[in-house]
């Protein structure tokens, strides 16, 4: 009952309400794999929604997040180009040199990686970002000196007992083990001002200190709490701190960045619980497919969707996910065959109608696309602007510039590189609205110049 209600809210895009219901469901039945999968899916849906907000910001945090996204997708050179721009634009971005160092490392540029790691962790003063020290441990492993790397990791463990387990994904299973445990780590036993603790890499102590702070916290303290809590693996505390930040400043880029990072981690933790309970669940394979598709690995995503469908051939979410993977992999005919099967079973499914409309727009079959796109207007809020962009193309082809302009005005909320504003400007020009055309084209140029050519978010169909 609880899971059913939560799933309904999730499908309607009511993510905060769905989150509360899934959390209740896991509390009522901690062994319900569906509840844990749903909780994970909701966290990841919230992450995507908030990520769209950060994409609109002219902030180095936007570039930092984008660079990390490219790195997850295995596009190391794009990650480097994007992260270099972010680091240059925001020299005070915490741990950004270390993140850039990992991008260099993935590209096989060890010397450049070592330089970036050393910029974020000063071994002589034992201060900076502990992620830089972790990067040095990975470099040492790659050089073949696993004993020395193990000592570096023991040193990190002594500084902050929780740091390695919370951030081991950066090491990609390269760390030697098992690690020597240090129960009474420095981070747990020595008090101090929160900012000083953070500078020493003692994120757990910093997080706990700020959590216990009496009275209202300043914006600066909340941002520090978000940073320290994230690097010590306290996702719930990050979410509380960023919620307070965003109540005061609704689009603060730093708050959005830390919230996105914590939501992603919380989602993956919930999915891990679901995996432990039921590793063969169709829901699990479908969610894994969604995650892989989001990282650009369409072939592996298709495999996961196939596993879900082998367990449940009528699983519409997996059928649609497979269709989207095929379409992203430039297999349009196969994608359309798959999405038509979804539409036969569920003619009003918004996602299936959107994808079919998208396929037809790409073919310039505009009149045929229109009815599908009109049904697609009920898609999730993060996809709706793209439906409006396709509808604009349909109305422009039909010569209805008024409707084309109206639809494109709804789409520009997700414009990153100025492309949608460029289209809007030319629509205004065609309609004879010179002032509006000039304004839209100026905005297009501003956005285009604000984004490095190698650093553009790509629309996922």
pLDDT at 459: 39
Residue 194 — pLDDT band, cuts 50, 70, 90?
very high
CA distance 427 to 400: 10
Distance between CA atoms of residues 155 and 149, nearest Å: 10
| Mean predicted confidence (pLDDT) in 81-110 | 92
User: What does the buried/exposed string (b/e) look like for 159-194 if buried means 16 or more CB atoms within 10 Å of the residue's CB?
Assistant: bbbbbbebbeebbeebbbeeeeebeebbbeeeeeeb
Between residues 190 and 24, which one has the greater pLDDT?
24
User: Which letter, b or e, does each residue of 326-339 get, where b requires 16 or more Cβ atoms within 10 Å of its Cβ?
Assistant: bbbbebeebbbebb
In this prediction, residue 283 has a pLDDT band, given cuts at 50, 70 and 90, of confident
Number of residues written out for the chain = 461
Q: What percent of the chain has pLDDT over 70?
A: 93
Return the domain boundaries, the chain: 77-189, 347-461
Q: What is the pLDDT of residue 181?
A: 46
Residue 381 has pLDDT above 60, yes or no: yes
- Token readout for 379 is 């898609």
The maximal CA–CA distance of the chain, rounded, in angstroms, is 72
Residues 6+ apart with CB under 8 A from 444: 415, 418, 419, 421, 422, 424, 425
In our burial notation (b when 16+ CB lie closer than 10 A, e otherwise), range 391-427 reads bbbbbbbeeebeebbebbbbbbebbbbbbbbbbbbbb
Task: Please tell me the predicted confidence (pLDDT) of residue 376.
Answer: 95
pLDDT attached to residue 124: 94
In this prediction, residue 328 carries a pLDDT of 87
Mean pLDDT of the chain: 88
We find that the CATH architecture of domain 347-461 is Alpha Horseshoe (1.25)
Whether the bond into 97 is cis, omega within 30 of 0: no
Task: Tell me how far apart the alpha carbons of residues 204 and 264 are, in angstroms, rounded to a whole number.
Answer: 20
CA 234 to chain centre: 18
- Confidence at residue 457, expressed as pLDDT on a 0 to 100 scale: 37
**What is the predicted pLDDT for the residue at 416?**
77
Query: 330-336 long-range contacts, Cβ below 8 Å, gap at least 24?
Result: 332/359, 332/362, 335/359
DSSP 86-136: HHHH-TT-TTHHHHHHHHHHHTT-HHHHHHHHHHHEETTTTEE-HHHHHHH
Across residues 243-257, what is the average pLDDT? 95
| Residue showing tokens 């727009």 | 361
Q: What pLDDT was estimated at residue 99?
A: 97
> What confidence tier does 255 reach under pLDDT thresholds 50, 70, 90?
very high
Q: Residue 170: pLDDT above 70?
A: yes
Higher-confidence residue of 238 and 48: namely 238
Which is it for the CA torsion 302, 308, 309, 310, positive or negative?
positive
pLDDT at 179: 45
Confidence of residue 410 (pLDDT cuts 50, 70, 90): very high
Which of 32-41, 64-73, 446-455 comes out lowest in average pLDDT?
446-455
Nearest to 281 by CA among 248, 315, 252: 315
């Amino acid at each position: 009952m609880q899971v059913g209600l939560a799933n309904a809210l999730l499908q309607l895009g009511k993510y905060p309400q769905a989150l509360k219901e899934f959390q209740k469901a896991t509390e009522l039945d901690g062994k319900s794999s569906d509840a844990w999968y749903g909780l994970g899916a909701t966290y990841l849906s919230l992450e995507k929604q908030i990520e769209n907000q950060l994409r609109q910001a002219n902030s180095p945090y936007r570039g930092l997040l984008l660079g990390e996204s490219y790195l997850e997708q295995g596009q190391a050179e794009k990650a480097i180009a994007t992260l270099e721009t972010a680091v240059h634009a925001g020299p005070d971005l915490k741990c950004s040199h270390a993140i850039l160092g990992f991008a260099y490392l993935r590209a096989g540029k060890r010397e450049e990686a070592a330089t970036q790691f050393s910029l974020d962790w000063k071994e002589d003063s034992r201060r900076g970002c502990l992620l830089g020290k972790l990067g040095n441990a990975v470099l040492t492993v790659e050089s073949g000196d696993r004993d020395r790397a193990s000592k570096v990791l023991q040193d990190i463990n002594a500084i902050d007992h929780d740091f390695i387990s919370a951030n081991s994904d950066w090491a990609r299973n390269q760390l030697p083990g098992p690690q020597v445990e240090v129960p009474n780590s420095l981070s747990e036993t020595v008090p101090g001002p929160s900012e000083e603790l953070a500078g020493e890499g003692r994120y757990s102590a910093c997080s706990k200190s700020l959590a216990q702070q009496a009275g209202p916290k300043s914006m600066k303290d909340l941002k520090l709490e978000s940073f320290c809590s994230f690097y010590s693996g306290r996702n719930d505390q990050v979410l509380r701190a960023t919620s307070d930040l965003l109540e005061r400043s609704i689009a603060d880029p730093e708050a959005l960045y830390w919230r996105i990072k914590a939501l992603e981690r919380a989602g993956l933790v919930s999915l891990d619980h679901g995996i432990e309970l039921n590793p063969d669940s169709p829901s699990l394979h479908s969610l894994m497919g969604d995650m892989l598709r989001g990282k650009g690995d369409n072939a592996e995503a298709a495999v996961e969707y196939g596993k879900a469908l082998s367990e449940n051939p009528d699983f519409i979410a997996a059928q649609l996910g497979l269709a989207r993977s095929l379409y992203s992999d430039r297999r349009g005919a196969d994608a359309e065959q798959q999405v038509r099967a979804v539409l036969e079973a569920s003619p009003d499914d918004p996602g299936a109608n959107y994808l079919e409309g998208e396929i037809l727009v790409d073919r310039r079959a505009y009149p045929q696309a229109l009815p599908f796109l009109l049904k697609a207007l009920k898609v999730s809020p993060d996809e709706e602007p793209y439906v409006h962009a396709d509808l604009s193309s349909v109305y422009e082809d039909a010569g209805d510039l008024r409707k084309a302009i109206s639809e494109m005005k709804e789409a520009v909320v997700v414009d990153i590189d100025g492309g949608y504003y460029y289209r809007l400007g030319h629509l205004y020009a065609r309609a004879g609205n010179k002032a509006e055309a000039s304004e839209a084209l100026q905005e297009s140029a501003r956005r285009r110049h604000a984004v490095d050519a190698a650093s553009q978010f790509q629309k996922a169909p």
